[in-house]
Structures are given as C-alpha cells and as structure tokens.
Structure 1
Amino acid sequence: MGVGGSAPSETAPRLLDAEYLVLSSRLIPGLDGGYTIATLARARQLASAGVDGGRGPQLLTFDPATTAAHDEHRRLFAEQGALIEPARLRNLFDEAQAPGGGSATWLRAAADAGAAPDPGVEYRVLEDAEGRPFAALPVIPANPDWHLSTAPVLVYDAVGAVAGAVRGFRGLYRAWLEHVTASLGDRTIVVICESRQLGELVADWSDPRVRIVHTVHTIHLEAPYTVDAPMNALWTRWLALADRFDAVVWPTATQRDDVVARFGSSAAHAVVPNPIAPVEHHDDLRESGLVVVLGRLAPGKRVDQAIRAFLAADVAGSRLEIWGGGPEADRLHALIDELDAGERVVLAGHTDDPGRVLDRASVVVTSTAFEGQPLGVVEALLHGAPVVAYDVRYGIRDVLAGGGGVLVPDGDVDALGAAIGRVLRDHDLRARLSAEAPTVAAAWSPERSLDALTSVLGAVVSHPSRR
C-alpha cells in the first residue's frame, strides 16, 4: 500500500523548504478505494522525501463525522501502516469545536454576527461530545453541487445560541484553511488538493505564500468514454479553473494528453504515477488454468462480459474465480445459473489476502468500461500474473503497452475470450508475459513516482503563484 517509513530515505529526492498540506474531502478506512490508498501513499512519499523531518505533511479533511469517528479512522490507518503520525490527520469539524462549548475562536472570528439562518433551508446541527451545538450545516438534498451552496453555515456561542454565520461551505472551508496557515509565517505553503470539489472552492485562494498542486484520481469522461465523450458539470467547471492551479497532476500520460488535445495547454499539466510498492510474489502458488477477476462487483466493471469471455475460451480444466463484493453480485449469480456454469465459475466473495489470490492466478482478467488509475493491473503484474484486458481509458494501455499482458478492443467479448484462451493454452506466451510483468510494473514504483512528484513540487515552489 504505497510507500512507508517515518524517516527520510538517504536516497530519496529532497524537496525545497516549504510547508506541505494535503487536502482531502474525507479519508475513511475501507471507503473510496484507490482514492484513499493513493492519497495516503502520497503523504508517505512526502515523508520519505523529508517533509517535516520525516513526519510528512499535515492531512486536512473536511467530512463532518464525530471526533470519536475521526479518532477511530486515525487508529485504523496507523494500525494498517497507512499513516505515520495520527496527529497529522486533522479534521475541520474536530477543530471547529471550542473546549467550553460553541464554535472555536477562529470560526467565530470568521462569522458575520448579523447573519441569520436561511428560512428556506433545512439545517443539520453538529454537536460536540457533550451534546452542545457548535455549527449547523445547510442540507442540500440530491444535489451533486451542494458544495457550491451559499446558504449560511451557522456558528454557535458557548451557551448554544446562534452567534452568526459564514457564507456557505466555501466560507467555512476557507476560514479553517486561513486559520491553519496563519501560524506558518512567510514560508511557502504547498497545498496538494486531492478533491475536485475542494479544488473549486480554493481555486481563487490568492495568498502569495500558497501554491496549489491539484491531483486527479478518476476518468474525466462519461459513457461511452471516448476521447470526445461528454463530461459532467463538476468536471466541466473544474477544467475551466485548471489554469489557476500551479500544477495539475495526472496519474497517466494518456489522460494528460487527451485533456491537452481537447482543452489546450494553458494549465500546468504534469504526470505522476501513483506509487505501488513492490511485493514478494510466490510463483509456487500458481495454479494451472486458474483465471481470476478481482475487484468491486459494480456495473461499470462489466464482470458479466468476463464470465461470457471465459466460457467462450473453453479451455479444458480452466476455472474462473471472481473475488469481490458489490451491487452486481445477485445478477452475476443469476447469470452463472442461467449459463449452467456453476462448476467452472465461482463468486468467491471478499478476500483479506488479495496478494495470495493474484499469486495463484494463471491469468487476471479485467473487463471494466473505464479506469482512473491502473492500480489493480499493476498489482497483478507485481505478482507475476499476466493480464488480459479491454483497451479502455485510462491507465491499462499505459501499463500493458510495455508488456505483461494482452489488450483487446473495448467491448469485444469474442476477442477477450480468444485472448484468455491463447494465454492459457500457450505455455511459452504465458511464461514470457509473467516474466515481463514485474519489470513493467516497476514504472509505478515508489521511487519513480517520488522522482516525478518532487520534480513537480520543486518547480511550483520555485515560481510565483499562478493566482
């Protein structure tokens, strides 16, 4: 899970002197998949490069759960080795509470004392551990653009009365960020923003100390995921703001290139592959004829196509194990029954040891409609398992172009089945792909990722803010 260590490596690239902050909408164990893994890995990368003496950046989160819940998140991340120093994971709402009740001093200072609740808006009142209100958030139901609401966020005094309000979530978030950065003096502050919603709200942050590096974790396209496919409103607005960030960091070159070709190069685009730590794989566990699908059982993963392709390959003695859970499980059970494939295709459920599953696999198949970052493909290659995949945006082609697997046209179930059959039947081909796999995966190593990241950060620290 990314890079670890609590002290800077003797061989790690050094960063220019600055304060480093990582902004994330939320960081919750077991939630948001690759996003959470990649965000925490980036923080550990910065620690390995010497940020704050190896303690790493401050991680600033914005989800309004309870302090007890956030404490549990810190404990679990530390237990998993994902977080070097739990105190570096901070949360706005933990710090919005005054010890004696009501809102913290910084929040009261930011509030307009004459502001009142919006009578047309429902409010969610937040209370401290003693049941005392300290803030109230406007509830914007069924609206993906809730973060843009200008409805007042209410601020309470020590006796539980409304003492004023700040203007929307932008006002609340910016008040905290200005509080956090107020103690940093004249130092350059590098803000690594991991969330597009947060990015929209800080894109006009004109503090001359601040440099904003915005990372990307997901595909920017909607179905059918072609280079000119439509985008949702959040992506459209965000791309219109991209040139305000001091750097925009993409996980793959193909996505960066597609964006530049479609929208121009006015933003400062860069590519930093997400780090995936090397593993010790066990070829002695490899099982002849075992085909594996590993991941969430969601509609976009198109696991039904992987099942049909596997059956079409029709290789004697082969079997398919599908590992993971999700909303498609019942439909896939029904499909397996319909195809009378229960003896060869198994929905194996969740695994706590995905590495062992990949060590056992002769072939790993991915039939997803899209990707944002190729973590699953790289992990399969690290375990020496050849990958057969649809050629979809983004990331899979970036990886398999170097070897270790077979790409087939998107959505061509017959071609996917033929490729599965070819790799299973051809021992020499399978051995070659398996031997290539770890070398190909090394392009996503922590060392190469850190080299790319420090290059980007060095450039932004060395230049004035773009805002």
Structure 2
Amino acid sequence: MSDAASGEGLFPDAAFLVLSSRLIPGLDGGYTIATASRARQMAENGADVQVLTVDPADAAVHAAHREEFARLGMLPAGIPLRNLFDEASAPDGGAAPWLRAAAASADRSVEAECAVEYRELTDAEGRPYAALPVIHGNPDWHLSAAAVRVYDQHGGTVGALPGFGGLYRAWLDHLAGASEKPVVVICESRQLGELLAGWANPRVRIVHAIHTMHLEPPYTPDAPLNALWTRWFAVSDRFDAVLWPTPAQRDDVQARFGGEAVNLVAPHGIRLPTVNDAEREPGLVVSISRLAPGKRIDHLVRAFLAADVPGTRLEIWGDGPSTASVAELISALDGGDRVALMGRTDDPDAVLRRAELMVTATAFEGQGLSIVEALAAGCPVVSYDVRYGPGDALGRGGGMLVPSGDEGALADAIRRVLTDAPLRARLAGEAPAVASAWSEDAAMTALAAATRTALAGPARR
C-alpha cells in the first residue's frame, strides 16, 4: 500500500467515479479484472471511490454481481458498486426525482425524435418509470438521439432525454451535484467516452482509461483504425487526461495524432506475490487468456507440440468462442495426452505458481496483464512480439520474444527454455524485478499524478 495509507494523501481530495458500461464477474476477461482492481487499489490508497455501471439488468442481478465480486476479493463490500437503473425509479412510483427533473428541463424537441420501438422499464412493483428506444441493426446504437421517455408516479410522461447519452449524463450530473468535492470520472469504456466528450460540467474532470489497442492488422503504428477508434480520436482532446497502459502505445499515438490530447501512461497494477519455487511442477507450461481468435490459441497448441520436449504438458486456462475449435485441433493433432483445456480460473496466481513457463501467441494486446502476472510469480514467458505489452515487459528480461506469427520460432523458444536449465533459471530470476514496474504502488502513483494533472486546470469541455 502506498503512502496514502499513512495519511499523506496519494490521491487529491476529490470524489472518484469509476465508470464502466457493465462490470460482471467472469465476463469481458482482463477488462473486468483491471477495472475492478483499479477501484480496489484506489480505495486502499485512501481515494473516495465508487464504481458506476449503466447496463439495464435487473436489480437482483446487480446484487448478485456485487456479492460475487466481494466473494472473489475483487471489489470489497466497502466500495459502492452502483447502477443507473437501480437508482432510476422513485419509491412512490415513476422516475427518481433527478431523472424527472432532467427530463422536464430537456429541450422539448427531443420528444419528436422517437424510435419505432420502445422497451418499457418498470420498478419492483411493476410500475413504469422510463422507456428506452430499441435500436435494431445499428452497432452505434449508443449514439442515437432517439428519445428516452421518462414517466411520473401516475404513468404520465414528464418529458424525454436525448438518447442514452442524455440519460447517462443526467445521472452523472445528479451524482456530481451531490458531492461537495471536485469530481473525477475515470471512464473505462470508449463508447461511454464518446457520449461524455461533450458533457460540460465545470466541477467534473474526465480521465479516460484505455484497455486495448487502437490498430487493425497488421498492427503497425500506421495501420488502419476501425471506425470506433477513428470517431474516438476525433474527441480525445476533450478529456482532461487519457491513460494509456504502455509507453509504446502512448508514443505511437502521440507521433500519429499530435499532442493536443493529454496523453499519459498509467498501467494496470498487479499484486506482487512472494515467489515460491517449491510449488513448481516440472515440465508444466500454461496459457491464461480468453479463448478467442485474436489470442491465436491454435498457434500455441501447434508450437508446443512441435517443440516436442519429453515430460512436458500444456494447460490452457480460459474460455471463450474458440473453445470448441481448439478442442478439435488438439484431437486432430492427437495431443490429448499432453494438452488440456482447463476452463476458466478465478485464481491465476495459483496456476502461475505451479508453472515452469507461460506462453502466449496473441495477435495484439493492450497491456498484457497475464504476462506481468506470470513474471511476478517468477514464471518466465515466451511470447510473440506484438503491440502492445509483451515488448514493454519482456524487453526488460524474464522471457523471450519471437516474431509474430512465426510458429517455428515459437516452438524453438519453448524448447530452449524447457531444455536449458541455466537459461530458465536466469529468466525466472529476472522476472519479479521486471514485474515490479507494474506493481500496485507504481500504478497508483501514476494514476494519482494523472488525476492531479486533470484537476490542475479548467475542464477541457
């Protein structure tokens, strides 16, 4: 824990709202882990922090999420996990007072921009309080200005808000107005960031965190951007700070788009465990990631089997849309006696403490949390050299980088580490020191500095 625990105040005296579109245990892979961890680490360092979500699930579902986060130790019970729709209805029926007031004061022309279909929202007693427009077949539904209808306790229409953005901003204005402190919104979602880029509240600063890469194949600094990122970069200078997880990505962005945005580096921090090699299982190689096409688990399986090191086995931890195809590949290669699909784990540290080597064949990364977690556990890593993350970490030691997509080179690196005991010992010895650059203390120091930068000047919107 950093100096804030001793009363020196690592974070400025502000109300911190960590904003995510949704936050569900076991869903969205490293994004959920990193977002929950950031909030927990901030609270442990003395910050006044709450976590906010805007997914319109049932209140009982959200309560179950809170219980599971607490059970896993990801979000202690002392950190509020609040949802817009849990708070949008009034006890006596209809919309909550803040929602009614926002709808009543909105431009009346909003009511004319109606969707063809609406989803009516009701409270626990079955009373309607609002209706959301249903936008079919449009991946940019969140940008629609179709009216969000708001009802009073008698079911009458109070007014309407301009789309989902108007609804989200109304809630945030209400929360900001309830705080006597300056408010810092740490926006964890690019879609939400687009909706907040025009939100002008002089008491609020928006610090936008990035979780993934901004490039399309071939992932070079000048590679194409997808439409979502193109739109986001057009408004990135309106955020009071943008947090990139690695220096390499920040530098590529600065070189390509210039310096109008406040681009800072603030990695996702990890706990540094005590390394205990007594738990190592000889010959155990592991992978921990979501099983999705971009992770290229097929490369990993083929490279491991091609390395053909006697007495070794591969455990693949994770789940996702590629699970069935990976299982078929393992069977087709007759690798079932050496490669096992283990499913999702809630304790990656325990897996990494057992492993002699972790391998990743991913096509791209944002930061590569599993790589840093492996190094922290004293487990060397072999990885494709891809943007962003693997090079930032393994370029300092603790593992080996090979050209992206070169399965032969990946197999050779796996074979070298598993058959050269002095090499593996050297890499394992380097690993914890390399990981220390991503410690919770280092991450919180960078984040606190970024929030101070954001608060030092006027809002950029």
- The TM-score normalised by the length of structure 2 is 0.94
Separation in 2 of the partners of 1:21 and 1:135?
Answer: 24
Instruction: Give the C-alpha shift of residue 447 in structure 1.
Output: 0.8
Rounded to whole Å, the distance in 2 between the matches of 1:352 and 1:45 is 19
Residue 188 of structure 1: how far off its partner (Å): 2.3
The counterpart of 1:251, out of the listed 240, 245, 252, is 245
CA 1:98–1:330 in structure 2 vs 1: closer, same or farther (change >3 Å)?
A: same
For 1:301, the equivalent position in structure 2 comes to 295
Shift of 1:86: 5.1
User: Any runs of at least 4 consecutive aligned residues in structure 1 with deviations exceeding 3 A, and if so which?
Assistant: 84-87, 112-120, 350-353
- 1:177 aligned partner: 172
Matched residue of 1:347: which SS?
strand
Q: 1:464 Cα deviation (Å)?
A: 1.8
1:109 aligns to what? 101
* Match among 140, 147, 150 for residue 145 of structure 1: 140
Which amino acid letter does the alignment assign opposite residue 102 of structure 1? Answer: G
- Structure 2 counterparts to residues 179-218 of structure 1, below 5 A: 179-185=174-180, 187-218=181-212
CA contact (8 A) 1:193 1:214 kept: yes
Unmatched 5+ stretches in structure 1 = none
Question: 1:49 corresponds to which letter in structure 2?
Answer: N
Whole-angstrom distance in 2 between the partners of 1:460 and 1:116: 36
Q: Are 1:265 and 2:273 matched, yes or no? A: no
The residue matched to 1:98 in structure 2 has which SS?
A: coil
State which of 46, 51, 58 in structure 2 corresponds to 1:50: 46
Instruction: Choose 205-214 or 83-92, whichever is displaced more.
Output: 83-92
**Structure 1 CA distance for aligned equivalents of residues 167 and 112 of structure 2:** 15
Name the amino acid aligned to 1:174.
R
Residues 193, 199 of structure 1: 8 Å contact kept: yes
* Structure 1 residue 221 corresponds to structure 2 residue 196: no
Q: What is the Cα deviation at residue 389 of structure 1?
A: 0.3
What is the 5 A alignment of 1:301-450?
301-450=295-444
How far off its partner does 1:168 sit?
0.7
Identity %: 59
Match of 2:325, as an amino acid? Answer: R
Residue equivalent to 1:33? 29
CA offsets, 1:397-453, max 9 Å, x none?
A: 111111100000000001001101111110000000011111111111011111111
Alpha-carbon distance between aligned partners in 1 of 2:398 and 2:279, rounded to the nearest angstrom: 19
- Is 1:82 matched with 2:74? yes
Letter paired with 2:165:
R
1:168 corresponds in structure 2 to 163
CA contact (8 A) 1:13 1:451 kept: no
| 1:281 Cα deviation from its structure 2 partner | 3.7
| 2:51–2:79 Cα contact (<8 Å) kept | no
User: Hey, what's the Cα distance between the residues in 2 that align with 1:31 and 1:284?
Assistant: 32
Q: Assess, with a 3 A threshold, how the Cα gap between structure 1 residues 408 and 280 changes in structure 2: closer, same or farther.
A: same
Shift of residue 183, structure 1, vs aligned partner: 2.5
For residues 57-98 of structure 1, what are the alpha-carbon distances to aligned partners after superposition, in whole Å with 9 as ceiling and x for unaligned? 122221111122222222222232222345622211111101
RMSD of the alignment, in Å?
Answer: 2.0
8 Å Cα contact 1:404/1:434 also seen in 2: yes
Query: Would the aligned equivalents of 1:294 and 1:324 in 2 still touch at CA under 8 Å?
Result: yes
Of the three residues 17, 24, 29, the one matched with 2:20 is 24
For residue 63 of structure 1, the aligned residue among 38, 48, 55 is: 55
Higher alpha-carbon deviation: 171-180 or 421-430: 171-180
* 1:424 maps to amino acid: L
Q: What is the total number of aligned residue pairs between the two structures?
A: 458
User: Which structure 2 segments of 5+ residues have no match?
Assistant: none
Could you state the TM-score of these two structures normalised by the residue count of structure 1?
A: 0.93
- Alpha-carbon distance in 2 for matches of 1:72, 1:391: 39
What secondary structure does 1:221 align onto? coil
